[in-house]
Structure 1
Amino acid sequence: MKKNNINDNDIILEDLQPSHAIHLYEMMQDDRIYTYIPENAPAAVETLKEKYKMFSKGSLRKEEVWLNYAIYLSSEKLYIGTLQATVQLDKRIISIAYILDPKKWGAGYAKKALSIMLQNSKEQFGHFDYYAYIDTRNERSINLVKSLGFKCVEYIENADYFKGSSSNEFVYAKISNK
Protein backbone atom coordinates (compact mmCIF):
# COMPACT_ATOMS: atom_id res chain seq x y z
CA MET A 1 0.00 0.00 0.00
CA LYS A 2 1.50 3.31 -1.08
CA LYS A 3 1.81 5.96 1.59
CA ASN A 4 2.36 9.64 1.12
CA ASN A 5 3.78 12.49 3.11
CA ILE A 6 1.14 14.29 5.14
CA ASN A 7 1.42 18.03 5.48
CA ASP A 8 -0.56 20.28 7.80
CA ASN A 9 1.06 23.71 8.07
CA ASP A 10 4.07 23.42 10.41
CA ILE A 11 4.01 19.65 10.99
CA ILE A 12 4.86 17.33 8.12
CA LEU A 13 4.64 13.56 8.48
CA GLU A 14 7.06 11.91 6.06
CA ASP A 15 7.07 8.19 5.34
CA LEU A 16 9.89 6.91 7.53
CA GLN A 17 12.91 5.86 5.45
CA PRO A 18 16.45 4.72 6.33
CA SER A 19 17.66 8.18 5.28
CA HIS A 20 15.82 9.70 8.27
CA ALA A 21 18.27 7.99 10.64
CA ILE A 22 20.91 10.66 10.10
CA HIS A 23 18.40 13.36 11.09
CA LEU A 24 16.92 11.56 14.10
CA TYR A 25 19.97 9.81 15.55
CA GLU A 26 21.12 12.60 17.87
CA MET A 27 17.62 13.09 19.24
CA MET A 28 17.31 9.32 19.78
CA GLN A 29 20.36 9.44 22.11
CA ASP A 30 18.39 11.25 24.83
CA ASP A 31 17.92 8.76 27.68
CA ARG A 32 14.61 10.36 28.70
CA ILE A 33 13.01 8.74 25.64
CA TYR A 34 13.71 5.25 27.00
CA THR A 35 12.48 5.67 30.58
CA TYR A 36 9.18 3.86 29.93
CA ILE A 37 9.95 1.64 26.93
CA PRO A 38 11.95 -1.61 26.77
CA GLU A 39 14.45 -0.22 24.35
CA ASN A 40 17.78 1.57 24.51
CA ALA A 41 19.29 4.29 22.38
CA PRO A 42 20.66 3.02 19.06
CA ALA A 43 24.40 2.32 19.24
CA ALA A 44 25.14 3.98 15.89
CA VAL A 45 23.46 5.78 13.01
CA GLU A 46 23.77 2.56 11.01
CA THR A 47 21.79 0.67 13.68
CA LEU A 48 18.96 3.19 13.45
CA LYS A 49 19.14 3.11 9.65
CA GLU A 50 18.65 -0.69 9.70
CA LYS A 51 15.67 -0.36 12.04
CA TYR A 52 14.06 2.22 9.76
CA LYS A 53 14.84 0.04 6.74
CA MET A 54 12.83 -2.79 8.35
CA PHE A 55 9.97 -0.40 9.18
CA SER A 56 9.90 0.99 5.64
CA LYS A 57 9.47 -2.50 4.16
CA GLY A 58 6.20 -2.90 6.04
CA SER A 59 4.55 -5.90 7.58
CA LEU A 60 4.92 -9.34 6.06
CA ARG A 61 1.35 -10.15 7.07
CA LYS A 62 -1.28 -9.35 4.43
CA GLU A 63 -3.89 -8.40 7.05
CA GLU A 64 -1.55 -5.84 8.65
CA VAL A 65 -0.28 -2.47 7.44
CA TRP A 66 2.51 -0.51 9.05
CA LEU A 67 2.41 3.27 8.91
CA ASN A 68 5.68 4.80 10.07
CA TYR A 69 6.42 8.49 9.89
CA ALA A 70 9.19 10.93 10.68
CA ILE A 71 7.81 14.15 12.18
CA TYR A 72 9.27 17.24 10.51
CA LEU A 73 8.82 20.70 12.02
CA SER A 74 9.01 22.95 8.97
CA SER A 75 9.31 26.25 10.87
CA GLU A 76 12.58 25.02 12.41
CA LYS A 77 13.65 22.76 9.51
CA LEU A 78 14.07 19.98 12.05
CA TYR A 79 13.00 16.36 12.51
CA ILE A 80 11.49 16.03 15.99
CA GLY A 81 10.27 12.45 16.29
CA THR A 82 8.51 9.42 14.87
CA LEU A 83 4.99 8.02 14.76
CA GLN A 84 3.92 4.45 14.23
CA ALA A 85 0.56 2.88 13.52
CA THR A 86 -0.01 -0.84 13.13
CA VAL A 87 -3.24 -1.32 11.22
CA GLN A 88 -4.88 -4.70 11.74
CA LEU A 89 -7.26 -4.78 8.81
CA ASP A 90 -9.02 -8.00 9.89
CA LYS A 91 -9.76 -6.69 13.41
CA ARG A 92 -10.33 -3.02 12.43
CA ILE A 93 -7.79 -1.97 15.07
CA ILE A 94 -4.95 0.54 14.86
CA SER A 95 -2.27 0.50 17.57
CA ILE A 96 -0.26 3.69 17.86
CA ALA A 97 3.17 4.57 19.22
CA TYR A 98 5.27 7.71 19.15
CA ILE A 99 8.62 9.17 20.11
CA LEU A 100 9.16 12.92 20.38
CA ASP A 101 12.35 14.84 21.01
CA PRO A 102 12.32 15.62 24.76
CA LYS A 103 13.41 19.16 23.91
CA LYS A 104 10.00 19.59 22.26
CA TRP A 105 7.88 18.00 25.00
CA GLY A 106 5.01 20.15 26.21
CA ALA A 107 4.83 22.33 23.09
CA GLY A 108 1.84 20.54 21.52
CA TYR A 109 3.76 18.98 18.62
CA ALA A 110 3.02 15.37 19.58
CA LYS A 111 -0.69 16.13 19.88
CA LYS A 112 -0.72 17.87 16.51
CA ALA A 113 1.25 15.09 14.79
CA LEU A 114 -0.95 12.35 16.28
CA SER A 115 -4.11 14.26 15.34
CA ILE A 116 -2.89 14.45 11.75
CA MET A 117 -2.05 10.75 11.71
CA LEU A 118 -5.38 9.75 13.25
CA GLN A 119 -7.33 11.86 10.76
CA ASN A 120 -5.32 10.50 7.83
CA SER A 121 -5.83 6.92 9.06
CA LYS A 122 -9.58 7.50 9.27
CA GLU A 123 -9.63 8.88 5.72
CA GLN A 124 -7.50 5.98 4.45
CA PHE A 125 -9.10 3.05 6.30
CA GLY A 126 -12.46 4.24 7.56
CA HIS A 127 -13.71 3.71 11.08
CA PHE A 128 -11.25 1.72 13.17
CA ASP A 129 -10.65 1.54 16.92
CA TYR A 130 -7.35 3.05 18.11
CA TYR A 131 -5.24 1.69 20.97
CA ALA A 132 -2.19 2.91 22.86
CA TYR A 133 -0.32 0.77 25.40
CA ILE A 134 1.31 3.06 27.96
CA ASP A 135 3.49 2.44 30.99
CA THR A 136 1.43 3.48 34.03
CA ARG A 137 4.23 5.82 35.16
CA ASN A 138 4.28 7.79 31.89
CA GLU A 139 2.02 10.68 32.85
CA ARG A 140 2.94 12.81 29.82
CA SER A 141 1.88 10.11 27.41
CA ILE A 142 -1.29 9.34 29.36
CA ASN A 143 -2.26 13.02 29.31
CA LEU A 144 -1.50 13.20 25.59
CA VAL A 145 -3.83 10.37 24.58
CA LYS A 146 -6.52 11.59 26.98
CA SER A 147 -6.38 14.99 25.27
CA LEU A 148 -7.12 13.18 21.99
CA GLY A 149 -10.23 11.51 23.39
CA PHE A 150 -8.74 8.15 24.40
CA LYS A 151 -10.19 6.42 27.48
CA CYS A 152 -8.51 3.87 29.73
CA VAL A 153 -10.02 0.45 28.99
CA GLU A 154 -7.59 -1.97 30.63
CA TYR A 155 -4.82 -2.32 33.19
CA ILE A 156 -2.10 -4.91 32.55
CA GLU A 157 0.00 -5.83 35.56
CA ASN A 158 3.59 -6.91 34.82
CA ALA A 159 3.10 -6.20 31.13
CA ASP A 160 6.86 -6.09 30.62
CA TYR A 161 10.14 -6.37 32.46
CA PHE A 162 13.03 -4.12 31.51
CA LYS A 163 15.84 -2.10 33.02
CA GLY A 164 15.65 -4.14 36.20
CA SER A 165 11.97 -3.75 37.07
CA SER A 166 8.45 -4.72 36.11
CA SER A 167 6.33 -2.40 34.06
CA ASN A 168 2.57 -2.16 34.32
CA GLU A 169 0.55 -0.75 31.44
CA PHE A 170 -2.69 1.03 30.83
CA VAL A 171 -4.47 0.37 27.56
CA TYR A 172 -6.10 3.50 26.22
CA ALA A 173 -8.62 3.30 23.40
CA LYS A 174 -10.49 5.61 21.11
CA ILE A 175 -13.44 3.57 19.93
CA SER A 176 -14.91 4.40 16.55
CA ASN A 177 -18.40 5.83 16.34
CA LYS A 178 -19.48 4.00 13.20
Structure 2
Amino acid sequence: MLRPEYPIRTERLTLRPFAEDDYADLHLMTGDPEVVRYLYAEVHSPDETRAALQRRIGQTELTGEGQWLVLAMQAEPEGEPRVVGQVVLRWASAVHRQGELGFTMSPAFQGRGYAREAAEAMLRVGFEQFGLHRIYAACDTRNAPSWGLLTRLGMRREAHFVEDEIFKGEYGDQYIYAMLDREWTKRQTSST
Protein backbone atom coordinates (compact mmCIF):
# COMPACT_ATOMS: atom_id res chain seq x y z
CA MET A 1 0.00 0.00 0.00
CA LEU A 2 1.28 3.46 -0.92
CA ARG A 3 -0.17 6.29 1.14
CA PRO A 4 1.45 9.64 1.83
CA GLU A 5 1.22 11.27 5.23
CA TYR A 6 -1.54 13.89 5.11
CA PRO A 7 -1.69 16.76 4.75
CA ILE A 8 1.13 17.46 2.31
CA ARG A 9 2.17 21.09 2.62
CA THR A 10 3.92 23.30 0.10
CA GLU A 11 4.72 27.00 0.34
CA ARG A 12 1.12 28.04 -0.42
CA LEU A 13 -0.87 24.82 -0.67
CA THR A 14 -2.25 22.02 1.41
CA LEU A 15 -2.62 18.81 -0.60
CA ARG A 16 -5.18 16.57 1.03
CA PRO A 17 -7.92 14.03 0.28
CA PHE A 18 -11.16 15.47 -1.05
CA ALA A 19 -14.02 15.96 1.44
CA GLU A 20 -17.78 16.44 1.20
CA ASP A 21 -17.38 20.21 1.68
CA ASP A 22 -15.40 20.45 -1.58
CA TYR A 23 -18.44 20.04 -3.85
CA ALA A 24 -18.84 23.71 -4.89
CA ASP A 25 -15.17 24.19 -5.71
CA LEU A 26 -15.00 20.86 -7.55
CA HIS A 27 -18.06 21.73 -9.64
CA LEU A 28 -16.39 24.98 -10.72
CA MET A 29 -13.82 22.72 -12.42
CA THR A 30 -15.89 19.76 -13.61
CA GLY A 31 -18.73 21.98 -14.82
CA ASP A 32 -16.49 24.25 -16.92
CA PRO A 33 -16.05 23.41 -20.63
CA GLU A 34 -12.61 25.05 -20.76
CA VAL A 35 -11.34 22.97 -17.84
CA VAL A 36 -12.44 19.65 -19.35
CA ARG A 37 -11.44 20.61 -22.89
CA TYR A 38 -8.30 18.43 -22.79
CA LEU A 39 -9.57 15.85 -20.27
CA TYR A 40 -11.28 12.57 -21.07
CA ALA A 41 -14.29 13.67 -19.01
CA GLU A 42 -17.11 15.79 -20.35
CA VAL A 43 -18.72 18.75 -18.57
CA HIS A 44 -20.41 17.43 -15.43
CA SER A 45 -23.94 18.13 -14.29
CA PRO A 46 -24.32 18.81 -10.55
CA ASP A 47 -25.23 15.13 -9.99
CA GLU A 48 -22.20 13.95 -11.98
CA THR A 49 -19.97 16.19 -9.88
CA ARG A 50 -21.45 14.70 -6.70
CA ALA A 51 -20.66 11.20 -7.98
CA ALA A 52 -17.16 12.30 -9.02
CA LEU A 53 -16.59 13.77 -5.56
CA GLN A 54 -17.56 10.47 -3.92
CA ARG A 55 -14.99 8.66 -6.09
CA ARG A 56 -12.29 11.21 -5.23
CA ILE A 57 -12.99 10.94 -1.50
CA GLY A 58 -11.99 7.28 -1.70
CA GLN A 59 -8.81 7.80 -3.75
CA THR A 60 -6.40 8.42 -0.86
CA GLU A 61 -3.95 5.52 -1.29
CA LEU A 62 -2.60 3.15 -3.89
CA THR A 63 -3.02 -0.57 -3.21
CA GLY A 64 -2.56 -1.84 -6.77
CA GLU A 65 -1.65 -0.98 -10.32
CA GLY A 66 -4.01 1.27 -12.20
CA GLN A 67 -5.27 3.11 -9.13
CA TRP A 68 -5.23 6.89 -8.81
CA LEU A 69 -4.21 8.97 -5.82
CA VAL A 70 -6.35 12.11 -6.18
CA LEU A 71 -5.69 15.10 -3.94
CA ALA A 72 -7.33 18.48 -3.56
CA MET A 73 -5.09 21.54 -3.88
CA GLN A 74 -6.26 23.81 -1.08
CA ALA A 75 -5.09 27.41 -0.99
CA GLU A 76 -6.19 30.55 0.82
CA PRO A 77 -6.02 33.13 -1.98
CA GLU A 78 -8.36 35.62 -0.28
CA GLY A 79 -7.91 34.38 3.27
CA GLU A 80 -10.56 31.66 2.86
CA PRO A 81 -9.62 28.01 2.24
CA ARG A 82 -10.54 27.04 -1.35
CA VAL A 83 -9.93 24.02 -3.53
CA VAL A 84 -8.14 25.60 -6.48
CA GLY A 85 -7.34 22.39 -8.36
CA GLN A 86 -6.47 18.75 -8.07
CA VAL A 87 -3.27 16.76 -8.53
CA VAL A 88 -3.16 13.05 -9.26
CA LEU A 89 -0.68 10.20 -9.35
CA ARG A 90 -1.57 6.87 -10.96
CA TRP A 91 0.32 3.71 -10.10
CA ALA A 92 1.07 2.68 -13.69
CA SER A 93 3.32 -0.35 -13.00
CA ALA A 94 4.52 -2.09 -9.86
CA VAL A 95 7.07 -4.22 -11.70
CA HIS A 96 8.57 -1.27 -13.58
CA ARG A 97 8.00 1.18 -10.67
CA GLN A 98 6.23 3.75 -12.81
CA GLY A 99 3.62 6.39 -12.13
CA GLU A 100 1.59 8.90 -14.11
CA LEU A 101 1.23 12.53 -13.01
CA GLY A 102 -1.74 14.78 -13.75
CA PHE A 103 -3.22 18.07 -12.60
CA THR A 104 -6.33 20.18 -13.17
CA MET A 105 -6.83 23.82 -12.19
CA SER A 106 -9.89 25.93 -11.58
CA PRO A 107 -9.86 28.75 -14.18
CA ALA A 108 -9.92 31.51 -11.55
CA PHE A 109 -6.63 30.25 -10.11
CA GLN A 110 -4.65 29.41 -13.24
CA GLY A 111 -1.37 31.19 -13.88
CA ARG A 112 -0.45 31.63 -10.21
CA GLY A 113 2.02 28.74 -9.90
CA TYR A 114 -0.26 26.51 -7.84
CA ALA A 115 -0.15 23.64 -10.35
CA ARG A 116 3.64 23.71 -10.33
CA GLU A 117 3.78 23.59 -6.53
CA ALA A 118 1.34 20.69 -6.41
CA ALA A 119 3.01 18.75 -9.23
CA GLU A 120 6.46 19.14 -7.61
CA ALA A 121 5.02 17.85 -4.33
CA MET A 122 3.48 14.86 -6.10
CA LEU A 123 6.77 14.10 -7.88
CA ARG A 124 8.44 14.18 -4.44
CA VAL A 125 5.84 11.75 -3.07
CA GLY A 126 6.25 9.44 -6.07
CA PHE A 127 10.02 9.35 -6.05
CA GLU A 128 10.96 9.84 -2.40
CA GLN A 129 8.09 8.15 -0.56
CA PHE A 130 6.77 5.58 -3.04
CA GLY A 131 10.14 4.68 -4.60
CA LEU A 132 9.04 5.05 -8.22
CA HIS A 133 11.69 4.84 -10.93
CA ARG A 134 9.88 6.83 -13.64
CA ILE A 135 6.95 9.24 -13.59
CA TYR A 136 5.39 10.35 -16.84
CA ALA A 137 2.61 12.66 -17.95
CA ALA A 138 0.55 12.76 -21.14
CA CYS A 139 -1.06 15.88 -22.54
CA ASP A 140 -2.78 17.07 -25.68
CA THR A 141 -0.30 18.87 -27.93
CA ARG A 142 -2.69 21.85 -28.10
CA ASN A 143 -2.54 22.29 -24.32
CA ALA A 144 0.52 24.56 -24.24
CA PRO A 145 0.08 25.61 -20.57
CA SER A 146 0.19 21.94 -19.52
CA TRP A 147 3.24 20.88 -21.50
CA GLY A 148 4.93 24.17 -20.61
CA LEU A 149 4.52 23.31 -16.93
CA LEU A 150 5.87 19.80 -17.49
CA THR A 151 8.94 21.33 -19.12
CA ARG A 152 9.43 23.77 -16.21
CA LEU A 153 9.22 20.83 -13.80
CA GLY A 154 12.27 19.37 -15.52
CA MET A 155 10.43 16.57 -17.27
CA ARG A 156 11.66 15.75 -20.76
CA ARG A 157 9.49 15.28 -23.81
CA GLU A 158 9.90 11.64 -24.76
CA ALA A 159 7.30 11.24 -27.46
CA HIS A 160 4.87 12.96 -29.80
CA PHE A 161 2.09 10.57 -30.72
CA VAL A 162 0.32 11.68 -33.88
CA GLU A 163 -3.40 10.90 -34.10
CA ASP A 164 -2.92 7.99 -31.72
CA GLU A 165 -6.48 7.95 -30.40
CA ILE A 166 -9.91 9.35 -31.00
CA PHE A 167 -10.41 12.10 -28.45
CA LYS A 168 -13.80 13.81 -28.15
CA GLY A 169 -14.84 12.77 -31.64
CA GLU A 170 -11.61 13.42 -33.55
CA TYR A 171 -8.11 12.06 -33.78
CA GLY A 172 -5.77 13.85 -31.44
CA ASP A 173 -2.05 14.18 -30.86
CA GLN A 174 -0.38 13.92 -27.50
CA TYR A 175 2.99 14.53 -25.92
CA ILE A 176 4.54 12.24 -23.34
CA TYR A 177 6.85 13.81 -20.77
CA ALA A 178 8.83 11.86 -18.16
CA MET A 179 11.38 12.05 -15.39
CA LEU A 180 13.52 9.31 -13.82
CA ASP A 181 14.29 9.03 -10.13
CA ARG A 182 17.97 9.87 -10.72
CA GLU A 183 16.95 12.99 -12.67
CA TRP A 184 14.72 14.02 -9.77
CA THR A 185 17.56 13.49 -7.29
CA LYS A 186 20.02 15.45 -9.44
CA ARG A 187 17.53 18.29 -9.81
CA GLN A 188 16.95 18.42 -6.02
CA THR A 189 20.69 18.34 -5.31
CA SER A 190 21.47 21.12 -7.79
CA SER A 191 18.72 23.40 -6.42
CA THR A 192 20.04 23.37 -2.86
TM-score by length of 2: 0.81
2:52 equivalent in structure 1:
51
CA drift at 1:107: 1.3
Contact 1:55–1:66 under 8 Å retained in 2: no
The one-letter code sitting in structure 1 at the alignment partner of 2:28 is E
1:19-98 equivalences in 2 (<5 Å): 19-44=21-46, 46-58=47-59, 62-76=64-78, 77-87=81-91, 88-98=93-103
Aligned with 2:181: secondary structure? coil
Q: Identity of paired residues, percent?
A: 24
Whether 2:174 is the aligned partner of 1:169: answer: yes
AA of the residue aligned to 1:115: E
Distance 1:175 1:123, change over 3 A: closer
Name the aligned partner's letter for residue 102 of structure 2.
A
Residue 18 and residue 41 in structure 1: after superposition, are their counterparts in 2 closer, same or farther (change >3 A)? farther
> Are the aligned partners of 1:11 and 1:73 in contact in 2 as well (CA < 8 Å)?
yes
After superposition, the C-alpha distances for 1:61-89 in whole angstroms (9 at most, x for unaligned) are 73455311010013432111111101232
TM-score (normalised: structure 1): 0.86
State the Cα distance separating 1:91 from its structure 2 match: 1.7
Give distance in 1, aligned partners of 2:106 and 2:122. 18
Query: Does residue 126 of structure 2 align to residue 121 of structure 1?
Result: yes
Name the CA shift for 1:27/1:172 in 2 (closer, same or farther; >3 Å). same
Unpaired segments of 5 or more residues in structure 1?
A: none
Distance 1:57 1:170 in 2: 29
Deviations 1:13-50 (A, max 9, x none): 01134553333112332211122223212111x32232
CA contact (8 A) 2:28 2:106 kept: no
State the alpha-carbon separation in 2 of the partners of residues 106 and 5 from structure 1.
24
* Alpha carbons of structure 1 residues 11 and 41: separation in structure 2 relative to 1, 3 Å: same
Residues 1:75 and 1:104: Cα distance change in structure 2 (over 3 Å): closer
Contact 2:88 2:122 in 1 (8 A): no
Structure 1 residues 160, 20: closer, same or farther in 2, change over 3 A? farther
